[in-house]
Amino acid sequence: MMGDVWRRTGPGSRWRAARGQGGAWGWPTADDGAPSPQPWPGHRHFPQHGPGRWMRGPKTSGPLRRNPGDRMVGGVASGVAARLGFDVTVVRIVFVVATLASGFGAAAYVVAWLLVPAAGESGNIASKALSDRRGLALAAGLVPLLILILLIASALGAGWLGSTLGWPLTITAAGLVLIWRNAPEDEQAIMRRLAEPLLGPTGSRRRSRIVLGALTGTVLLVSGLLALLYGRPHGAVLRPLAGVALVVAGIVVLLGPWWLRIARDLMVERQARARAEERADMAARIHDSVLQTLALIQRRADNPQQVVQLARAQERELRSWLFDGRAPGSLDGQVTTLAAGVRLIQQEVEAQHGVSVEAVTVGDCELDDDLAALLAAAREATVNAVKWSGAPVVSLFAEVEPAEVSLFVRDRGRGFDPAAVPADRRGLAESVHARMARRGGSATVRTVQGEGTEVSLTMPRAAGVRQPHRS
Amino acid sequence: MTTPGIRAPGGRPRVFIVDDHGLFRSGVRSELGDRVDVVGEAEDVEPAIARIAESLPDVVLLDVHLPGGGGQDVVTALKATHPQVRFLALSASDAPEDVIAVIRAGARGYVTKTISGTDLVDAVRRVAAGDAVFSPRLAGFVLDAFAAIAPAGADRPAVDPELDQLTAREREVLRLIARGYTYKEIARELYISAKTVESHVSSVLRKLQLSTRHQLTRWATERRLA
């Protein structure tokens, strides 16, 4: 059962671990050479939505998690979308409509933000907020405010306003206070950025412009509301209409610049993220190919013929990547199924390193980009085991299940201390952990010094099962 | 698989080697050394049946592929008349259906020819003691074979559900074997005793041999066609 337990300890924690700690992976040893050209890079993957697919996106299993990788505010919508298999835009529209209709959309969003842990975190913000006394006091202080709003609203003869907006407003505000005080650094940064245009104008000219804008907007908004509230009894049909127009104009003047700025910032952030991912992918490929070959060359320095051979092979590979767009060691045309890929790893690693690899596969399926990344990670883990463990045999076990593919690389070698791995050894961090994380998979490493190491890789399956044997 | 202490009653197990390659037979012989007592060898089905019936070894190391038929023919011929003789299948290139066929005929286990001498001696001792020996590869084959048996539905009532399906625990044990764990490591991993691991493996072997479910046969046939 243990095996299952660690396979399922939540993809999130590892996701974060892989990116956050950034680091230390690769079997440590005094001997710092590393053979292994021809890796499998995960191809970059751009989701393509066909015409009928705008409603649905890829569906994940497991508990609901906020997705900080694709967020406009807290990542709640994309988390819900991923869990339910809807397109994230649809979920966002639902939230916005619910907010406009009653205000409870925003309240629900904030509550979810508080209660649902982010992918990669074990606890939610609410559990941290429980120990935040000042935050709780502040949040509780909003309740009298609500009563005040309700009182004023009913005094103005608009009890409906208080009951539809008061509660959600209070919940939202209280929730935001708690999140603001207890969220991790990056989420605070997002909130700051969202609030910045409202709070922090820079320069006196901008300030006066904003004050002017705010004044105009407020006047428009208030006069619109007044027209709506008091216009009905005597006025013609035109007056409520004018009221609505004024309210809308007020909102646009008040929030327009802010909205534009958020949209621009989000776009910039997305581009930066895409660039960073591209870079990480490229780093993983170079690590698996060029760096590994260079290490191999250092190690075989006394054998000129082999060095020439290695250099030539690497040159060919690099050329075909740079000029023909063929990823180094890519599976293009070589293998089309997972079992064939595992066999190829076995053959290549055995041929290059002279250590036997015992490969066992259960079930089979077609390769897609995700599974190609899984194989690339498995290859890197196998090469690592062969290089550093000192074990004469490395076991490779792959099992295709309807929902996921698991792959285990195990050696009974010397094991290592993950904390002692120098930070510049990127093998496991980039080629295994991050590569899996970018595809929604997970990787765990269990190692005991003197007893061996096992790397467990799990990738959820996107496509349906290809039945290798019909029953 | 270097668990010491499992020994056939009466000291060194008596071993018979069936393989069509003379070189391999002498290789195994020298690897086993004096840790077992090699009582004879044969290179094909017919002579093997005759000589095994004569020498009555504890364990027969049996090549899956033989010129005059499969290893399962040897097992089938001797099983009824000499139930005390136990078989351990040994093979280099292994089509899953052939391996499963030998196991279904009655072999107590299956190891690959790349196995080390120490591990082979250990496997022989286990089989002599009546235990089952599953290599990672065999565990994979068995998981595959049982996965191919669709759960009984309305259109296909189970003949004997207990024999046609593995329990969750048995699957877990097989997965760990396939991942390269020894029985001892599996016991530690699952918080059970090595004896219990042993009994799970034996129970899988029993199911494999007794299941009359035609899907097992069909799985084999389809693998062959694929």
Contact between chains at B180 and A397 (C-beta distance less than 8 A) = yes
Domain boundary among B98, B115, B134: B134
Size of interface A-B (CB pairs under 8 A): 62
Confirm whether B8 is domain-assigned. no
Residue A470 pLDDT > 70, yes or no? no
Chain A nearest-CA residue for B224: A469
Q: What is the pLDDT of residues A352-401, one digit of tens each?
A: 777 788 888 888 888 888 888 899 889 889 988 888 888 888 999 999 98
B107 and B188 belong to one structural domain: no
Confirm whether B7 is domain-assigned. no
Confirm whether B154 is domain-assigned. yes
CATH code for position B86:
3.40.50.2300
B121 and B162 belong to one structural domain: no
Question: Looking at the complex, does the CB of residue A404 fall below 8 Å from at least one CB of chain B?
Answer: no
Residue B144 pLDDT > 50, yes or no? yes
Residue B193 pLDDT > 80, yes or no? yes
Q: What is the mean pLDDT of residues A217-235?
A: 69
pTM: 0.52
Check residues A4 and A443 and name the one with the higher pLDDT.
Answer: A443
Instruction: Report the mean per-residue pLDDT for chain A.
Output: 72
Check residues A194 and B36 and name the one with the higher pLDDT.
Answer: B36
**Of the candidates B148, B172, B180, which has its C-beta nearest A469's C-beta?**
B148
User: What is the ipTM score, two decimals?
Assistant: 0.75
Domain boundary among B117, B134, B151: B134
Check residues A17 and A257 and name the one with the higher pLDDT.
Answer: A257
Contact B128, B8 (CB under 8 A): yes
Angle, helices B45-55/B71-79, rounded to nearest 10 degrees: 40
Contact A227, A240 (CB under 8 A): yes
Check residues B212 and B40 and name the one with the higher pLDDT.
Answer: B40
Chain B nearest-CA residue for A467: B148
Contact between chains at A393 and B180 (C-beta distance less than 8 A) = yes
B130 and B33 belong to one structural domain: yes
Residue A411 Cα, gap to closest chain B Cα (Å): 8
pLDDT of residue A457: 93
B76 and B47 belong to one structural domain: yes
pLDDT of residue A107: 82
CATH code for position B211:
1.10.10.10
Q: Which residues of B touch A408 (CB under 8 A)?
A: 179-180
Spell out the domains of chain A, with CATH numbers in brackets. Answer: 2-43+331-460 (3.30.565.10), 51-200 (no CATH), 201-329 (no CATH)
B68 and B113 belong to one structural domain: yes
The contacts of residue A52 (CB under 8 Å, 6+ apart) are none
Residue B184 pLDDT > 80, yes or no? yes
B100 and B186 belong to one structural domain: no
Q: What is the pLDDT of residues A131-182, one digit of tens each?
A: 777 777 777 777 777 777 677 766 666 555 555 666 777 778 788 878 877 7
Instruction: Report the mean per-residue pLDDT for chain B.
Output: 81
Contact between chains at A2 and B149 (C-beta distance less than 8 A) = no
Q: Which residues of A touch B175 (CB under 8 A)?
A: 3, 397, 399
Structural domain of B209: 140-225
Residue B160 Cα, gap to closest chain A Cα (Å): 17
Q: Which amino acid is at A86?
A: F
Test the B interface: residue of A1, A469, A470 with most B CBs within 10 Å = A469
Chain A nearest-CA residue for B94: A360
B81 and B20 belong to one structural domain: yes
Give the total number of structural domains in chain B: 2
Residue A236 pLDDT > 60, yes or no? no
Contact between chains at B180 and A468 (C-beta distance less than 8 A) = no
